[in-house]
């Protein structure tokens, strides 16, 4: 079960072209494509005639043609040609999903189309700001997206999973300040006068101790914004406001594929105190390595979870506060969708 009335990242913009892209999102087959002159669009990837995947077809000037019997559909999903007959019944169409291109990402709305307000799309503008050299990546996960969310919402795992990349011995004891708001939760954490993690030390070229910060937002249901950084220790003021710091404007953007698999998009815009932007390549490699470590343990956790008898429940610890809160909020959203509020209430 997934929250449907929400924007999810369907793809990076550069993945969508005149060559159709098949992607399963929230359990539904979707085809992404653009006509030579039009915007990116998302249609159900199943011809309404005999269910062949439209993604096996060809994009033409005015739409996409099914490869099986040649039915053609407009970018809006209306059938505009049926070979061998002149009348096209109105019901002959495939579902179209709202799709918005913004800051290098394609955001899709799988719920009620009339609720698809682009104002709700999380601001990821750093991702196409030339002032922010950016690393990017995609990971296909054999795990439910909530296990990935749990991971991102409890940084105590950095010490154990990411020994050689993101580890900082102080994480388990540096409990973040958690502030819920309507659309998610905010987490703020500072660790003063600490050893920089291997990644921060490399990216910032720090030689001594640093003051470290995380200013994170979990945007429901599945976008993680993590403004992290380090600055040489010793000066006054909030670390993230001081000059000379390393700034990482990270986003992890999770999109459920099925109940047991997920799409994981990430972007990592950076600003380096030394001004040598070529470091971004190493940052990208470091993130990819660290995320492979997460993938390794989370996919094992998924299998373990599936094999576990349903009467056994996980036992919570203090560091589960944030993930517990987010799981609760997602359950509330799911309940709301089971009994949806009217769009316009009667007076």
Closest to 73 (Cα-Cα) out of 56, 85, 60: 60
Contact range with a copy of itself by CB under 8 A, out of 150-158, 232-240, 242-250, 282-290: 150-158
Q: Could you give the CA distance from residue 252 to residue 265 in angstroms, rounded to a whole number?
A: 6
Query: Shortest approach of a copy of itself to residue 202 CB, angstroms?
Result: 23
Specify whether the CB–CB gap between 35 and 69 falls below 8 A.
Answer: no
Work out whether 261 is an interface residue with a copy of itself (CB under 8 A): no
Tell me, by CB under 8 A, how many residues bind a copy of itself: 48
Q: Which of 89, 243, 275, 342 binds a copy of itself (CB under 8 A)?
A: 89
Q: Which of 60, 101, 115, 159 binds a copy of itself (CB under 8 A)?
A: 159
Work out whether 161 is an interface residue with a copy of itself (CB under 8 A): yes
Q: What is the biggest distance separating any 2 CA atoms in the chain, rounded to whole angstroms?
A: 78
Query: Shortest approach of a copy of itself to residue 107 CB, angstroms?
Result: 24
Closest to 230 (Cα-Cα) out of 202, 210, 215: 210
- The structure tokens listed for 278 are 């070529």
Closest to 295 (Cα-Cα) out of 142, 150, 136: 142
Q: How far is C-alpha 284 from the chain's CA centre?
A: 17
Contact range with a copy of itself by CB under 8 A, out of 104-112, 149-157, 328-336, 338-346: 149-157
Query: Shortest approach of a copy of itself to residue 298 CB, angstroms?
Result: 9
Q: Could you give the CA distance from residue 340 to residue 121 in angstroms, rounded to a whole number?
A: 21
Q: List residues bridging with 162 in a β-sheet.
A: none
Site for a copy of itself in 300-339 (CB under 8 A): 300-301, 304-305, 307-308, 314-319
Specify the residue, 272 or 291, whose C-beta has the smaller distance to a copy of itself. Answer: 291
Query: Shortest approach of a copy of itself to residue 198 CB, angstroms?
Result: 18
Specify whether the CB–CB gap between 101 and 41 falls below 8 A.
Answer: no
DSSP 255-286: EEEETTEEEEEEEEEEE-TT--GGGHHHHHHH
Please report, for residues 97, 156, 181, 238, 295, the alpha-carbon distance to residue 340 in angstroms, rounded to integers and kept in the order given. Answer: 19, 37, 21, 43, 35
Q: Which of 17, 173, 277, 331 binds a copy of itself (CB under 8 A)?
A: 173
Work out whether 160 is an interface residue with a copy of itself (CB under 8 A): yes
Q: Could you give the CA distance from residue 111 to residue 94 in angstroms, rounded to a whole number?
A: 15
Specify the residue, 85 or 278, whose C-beta has the smaller distance to a copy of itself. Answer: 85
Specify the residue, 177 or 345, whose C-beta has the smaller distance to a copy of itself. Answer: 177
Phi/psi region, residue 197 (left: phi>0; alpha: psi -120 to 50; beta: rest), is: beta
Q: Which of 66, 135, 143, 228 binds a copy of itself (CB under 8 A)?
A: 66
Query: Shortest approach of a copy of itself to residue 114 CB, angstroms?
Result: 22
Site for a copy of itself in 274-303 (CB under 8 A): 296-297, 300-301
Query: Shortest approach of a copy of itself to residue 2 CB, angstroms?
Result: 15
Query: Shortest approach of a copy of itself to residue 118 CB, angstroms?
Result: 28
Site for a copy of itself in 33-52 (CB under 8 A): 45-46, 48-52
Please report, for residues 59, 205, 271, 340, the alpha-carbon distance to residue 237 in angstroms, rounded to integers and kept in the order given. Answer: 56, 21, 19, 46
Specify whether the CB–CB gap between 23 and 9 falls below 8 A.
Answer: no
Q: Which of 65, 136, 189, 247 binds a copy of itself (CB under 8 A)?
A: 65
Work out whether 150 is an interface residue with a copy of itself (CB under 8 A): yes
Contact footprint for a copy of itself (CB under 8 A):
29, 45-46, 48-53, 56, 65-71, 82-85, 89, 91-92, 150, 154, 156-157, 159-161, 172-173, 175, 296-297, 300-301, 304-305, 307-308, 314-319
């Amino acid at each position: 079960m997934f929250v449907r009335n929400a924007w999810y990242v369907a793809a990076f913009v550069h993945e969508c072209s005149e060559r159709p892209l098949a992607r399963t999102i929230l359990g539904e087959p979707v085809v992404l494509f653009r006509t030579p002159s039009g915007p990116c669009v998302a249609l159900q990837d199943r011809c309404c005639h005999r269910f062949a995947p439209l993604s096996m077809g060809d994009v033409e000037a005015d739409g996409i043609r099914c490869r099986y019997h040649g039915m053609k559909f407009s970018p809006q999903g209306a059938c505009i040609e049926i070979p061998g007959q002149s009348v096209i019944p109105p019901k002959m169409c495939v579902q179209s999903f709202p799709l918005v291109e913004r800051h290098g990402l394609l955001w899709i709305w799988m719920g009620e189309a009339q609720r698809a307000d682009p104002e709700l799309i999380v601001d990821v503008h750093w991702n196409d700001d030339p002032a922010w050299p950016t690393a990017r990546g995609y990971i296909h996960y054999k795990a439910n997206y909530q296990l990935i969310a749990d991971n991102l919402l409890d940084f105590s795992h950095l010490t154990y999973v990411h020994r050689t990349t993101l580890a900082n011995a102080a994480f388990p004891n540096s409990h973040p300040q958690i502030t819920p708001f309507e659309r998610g939760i905010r987490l703020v954490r500072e660790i003063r006068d600490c050893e920089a993690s291997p990644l921060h030390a490399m990216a910032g070229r720090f030689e001594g101790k640093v003051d470290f910060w995380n200013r994170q937002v979990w945007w429901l249901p599945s976008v993680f914004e993590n403004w992290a950084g380090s600055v040489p220790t010793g000066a006054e003021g909030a670390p993230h406001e001081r000059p000379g710091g390393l700034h990482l404007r990270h986003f992890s953007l999770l999109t459920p594929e099925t109940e047991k698999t997920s799409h994981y998009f990430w972007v990592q815009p950076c600003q380096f105190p030394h001004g040598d932007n070529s470091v971004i390549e190493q940052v990208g490699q470091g993130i990819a390595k660290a995320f492979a470590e997460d993938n390794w343990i989370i996919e094992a956790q998924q299998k373990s979870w599936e094999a576990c008898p349903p009467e056994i429940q996980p036992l919570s610890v203090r560091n589960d506060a944030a993930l517990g809160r987010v799981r609760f909020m997602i359950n509330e959203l799911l309940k709301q969708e089971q009994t949806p509020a009217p769009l316009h209430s009667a007076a």
